[in-house]
Structure formats: structure tokens, C-alpha cells
């Protein structure tokens, strides 16, 4: 299973929809948004690509009631989890949090195959040694909106556990 991993769209619907469209064209079957989506209207153009979107809110909460309403209205296409999400996709255990330092700490536990985070607007894909003697993947896709950094997102292949960074041409 392939995923389009994004974060920090900050109410910018166009680059979010562009990344989701590119992800779908490359075989993504679902989207993980690692927070700072902010507005419920921001995700609507991305939903037009037909992929399920798993989203958390991040430190810029926005309108949680509107996000819950949009989630209910989407017939399951938008899953809004609040502050964090625990997912099982493609047979992998995935934790989604917003803060990058929380993501690192969770990767160190060895409980997750993949930890997705955001907040820093800095693209990062790496394996983190964990307390169980193995490693966990930590993926921060940067900011899809291109705020104070390039507009980036990550395509994840969960079967191979490969991650490709992509930059949007805004």
C-alpha cells in the first residue's frame, strides 16, 4: 500500500490538493495529514481525488467542530482524529502526531513501524533506533504549503518501507 503523507497546509487548499493529486497519480491509496490543516474547507479540494484522508489537527487547531462535521459528511472519506491517530494501514502500525519531538520519542519506543509528524516545516525521513533493539521509521513531510520552506510531501510504500520526498512546483 502506498500513502501520500502531508503536513502543515495552514489553510492553503491548492497545494494540499496538488500533493494529493500527485500522490494518487503515483499510486497512493490513502492520505495522512500530520496536522495544521486548520480549516475544514482546506481539505475539500483534496477529497475530490477520491482518496481516504486521515487527519489530525496539530497546534493550530482551527475549527474542530467544522472538521468533525466535514468528517461525518464525507461518508468515511475524511477521518478526523483530533490530536493524534493510531492507524493500521497496509499491515503496518502507524502513529500520527503533530510535534516532531513527540514523533521522535514515539519512534524510540519500538511500538510503531512508522511514526508520521510535522510542525517543524522541515522534511525528514529516517530510521530511529528504538529501545527494543530495532528501528522505527520517522517521517516528517515538511510543509505542503511551502511556508518558510519548500513545499514538500512524502510518498510512502508500506510494503517495501520506502519513502520518496517530493517537492511541489507552486
The answer to whether 114 touches 156, Cβ cutoff 8 Å, is yes
Residue 59 maps to which CATH number?
3.60.21.10
Q: What is the pLDDT of residue 39?
A: 87
CA distance 45 to 72: 17
CA distance 157 to 126: 14
pTM of the model: 0.98
pLDDT per residue as tens digits for the range 99-125 = 999 999 999 999 999 999 999 999 999
Q: What is the pLDDT of residue 170?
A: 84
Question: Half-sphere exposure (CA, 13 Å, Cβ side) for 52?
Answer: 14
- Residue 116 CB coordination number (10 Å): 32
Say whether pLDDT at 141 is over 90: yes
The DSSP code sequence of 81-93 is -SS-EEEEETTEE
Q: What is the pLDDT of residue 167?
A: 98
What is the mean pLDDT of the segment spanning 69-89? Answer: 95
Q: What is the pLDDT of residue 106?
A: 98
Please state, rounded to an integer, the average pLDDT across all residues of the chain: 97
Number of domains forming the structure of the chain: 1
Task: Give me the domain span that covers residue 133.
Answer: 2-167
Say whether pLDDT at 97 is over 90: yes
pLDDT per residue as tens digits for the range 39-64 = 889 999 999 999 999 999 999 988 88
- Please give the grid coordinates belonging to residue 163: 519513502
Confidence of residue 72 (pLDDT cuts 50, 70, 90): very high
Percent of the chain surpassing pLDDT 90: 95
Amino acid at each position: 500500500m502506498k500513502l501520500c503523507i502531508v503536513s502543515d497546509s495552514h489553510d492553503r487548499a491548492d497545494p494540499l490538493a496538488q500533493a494529493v493529486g500527485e500522490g494518487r497519480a503515483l499510486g497512493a491509496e490513502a492520505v495522512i495529514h500530520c496536522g495544521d490543516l486548520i480549516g475544514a474547507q482546506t481539505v475539500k479540494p483534496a477529497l475530490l481525488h477520491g482518496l481516504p484522508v486521515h487527519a489530525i489537527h496539530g497546534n493550530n487547531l482551527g475549527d474542530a467542530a467544522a472538521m468533525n462535521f466535514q468528517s461525518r459528511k464525507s461518508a468515511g472519506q475524511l477521518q478526523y482524529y483530533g490530536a493524534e491517530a493510531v492507524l493500521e494501514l497496509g499491515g503496518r502500525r502507524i502513529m500520527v502526531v503533530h510535534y516532531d519531538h513527540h514523533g521522535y520519542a514515539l519512534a524510540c519506543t519500538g511500538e510503531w513501524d512508522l511514526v508520521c509528524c510535522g510542525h517543524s516545516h522541515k522534511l525528514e525521513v529516517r530510521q530511529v533506533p528504538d529501545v527494543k533493539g530495532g528501528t522505527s521509521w520517522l517521517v516528517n513531510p515538511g510543509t505542503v504549503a511551502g511556508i518558510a520552506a519548500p513545499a514538500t510531501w512524502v510518498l510512502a510504500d508500506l510494503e517495501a518501507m520506502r519513502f520518496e520526498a517530493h517537492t511541489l512546483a507552486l
